[in-house]
Amino acid sequence: MSKNIALLALTPHQVHLMKNIYKLLINNNHNVIYLVRDYNITVKLLDELQLNYTLISKEKLVSKEIYNLFFKTYSYLKNNDINFVIGDSTLGIPSFAKKIPSIALTNMDANFLYPFFYKYISKNNYVLTPSHYRYNLGKKHIKYSGYQQLAYLNPKYYTPNKKIYDYLDLDFDEKYCVVRLNAFDAYSHDFQLRSLSENELDHLIESLKPIGKVIIIPESKISSKYNKYVLNFPVHMIFDLLFYSDLLCTETAMATESIILGTPTILVHQKASNFSDFITLKNFGLKICNINYLLKKAAPLFKIGKNKNLSFEQIYYSNFNRADDPNIIVMKILNSLL
């Protein structure tokens, strides 16, 4: 029997995380809709992917706006006869209030607030995390081998697209480096973190330019003097951009996606040791460092570059052959509850 299922996506990552679940549910004749916050490129990404969504918030996820999001989500669930919800744990409270079964997907163990919320406040039927997640969330907690990002960066679901070169204005054998800047506006885990200063960014760019093209992907507005480095391309092709890149210098969790794609990656993050994902990714080549290390080591790593003779399938099955597919786990749970 067809069911009405809502997927809550507060960020672009969460859109990607559930897009294959969305397709699997549609193929099983369910009615599926994303409930989204108008943050960064989230809405643009949904439009490019042609996924059904409704906008429930245009506000930053801080303080009182969290309560507004709970209320708006509850109102939507109440008025639209939703049978099941999947996504961020913020769906747990309003779905519990409506007695609707739900699954929360998280990898966030950077501080005790998230585990406390999942275990004692959120009322999700299940919480799914990677196996290296450092906390035990009780009977409702299901762990799987691998990473959230393998729900969409898997040869079953993703094939690199060389059409990204149409936007790069480069030949295939020419080098390029991606610099990803973080907005650091998350209400908890980004507290007291800062991005590169303009002087530091200028230094980084000048060190990389003699080797190849430098592309900046900002998460928030940056000075207009960097406009020539900002690439205008379809946002759903971000993984193609990362796959063919010779280096990613990042302040964000995009480091996980880049490492899965086999791209050399430097992560500058003052609290990286608090994230179990980042710690385990060091086993696959992730370099976690401070800003001084980045400014010294980025150019030599860029010069070495990436072995582009390896396919994504070769990279994936070499590193993640034994990983679980989170989509399959979600579908099994859902089928048992509906």
**Tens of pLDDT, residues 194-244:** 578 899 999 999 999 999 999 999 987 889 999 999 999 999 999 999 999
With 80 as the cut, is the pLDDT of residue 188 above it? no
Residues 145-154 pLDDT 10s: 999 999 999 9
Specify the DSSP element, H or E, that contains 307.
none
Q: What is the pLDDT of residue 185?
A: 41
- Does the domain spanning 4-146+323-337 belong to CATH 3.40.50.2000? yes
Distance CA 200, CA 215 (A): 16
Confidence of residue 320 (pLDDT cuts 50, 70, 90): very high
CATH architecture type of domain 162-319: 3-Layer(aba) Sandwich (3.40)
For the chain, the structural domain boundaries read: 4-146+323-337, 162-319
Beta-bridge partners for 247? 177
Distance in angstroms (rounded) separating the CA atoms of residues 322 and 254: 22
Please report where in the chains the tokens 């946002």 appear, as a residue. Answer: 235
Question: Do the beta carbons of residue 281 and residue 256 sit within 8 Å?
Answer: yes
pLDDT of residue 282: 96
- What digits encode the pLDDT tens for the residues 48-106? 999 999 998 776 555 556 677 778 888 888 889 999 999 876 666 666 666 788 898 98
Percent of all residues in the chain with a pLDDT value above 90, rounded to a whole number: 65
pTM strictly above 0.85: yes
- Measured at the alpha carbon of residue 271, what is the angle toward residues 267 and 273, in degrees to the nearest 5? 80
Beta bridge partners of 181: 218
Quick check: do 4-146+323-337 and 162-319 share a fold?
yes
Residues 6+ apart with CB under 8 A from 121: 92, 93
Q: Are strands 247-250 and 126-130 parallel, antiparallel or unpaired?
A: unpaired
Q: Which two tokens stand for residue 229?
A: 């480095």
pLDDT at 191: 39
Per residue in 131-176, pLDDT tens? 999 988 888 899 999 999 999 999 999 999 999 999 999 999 999 9
Model confidence at 248, pLDDT cuts 50, 70, 90, reads very high
How many other CB atoms are found less than 10 A from the CB of residue 265? 28
Please give the backbone phi and psi of residue 204, each rounded to the nearest 5 degrees, phi first. Answer: -60, -50
Q: Name the amino acid, one letter, at 305.
A: G
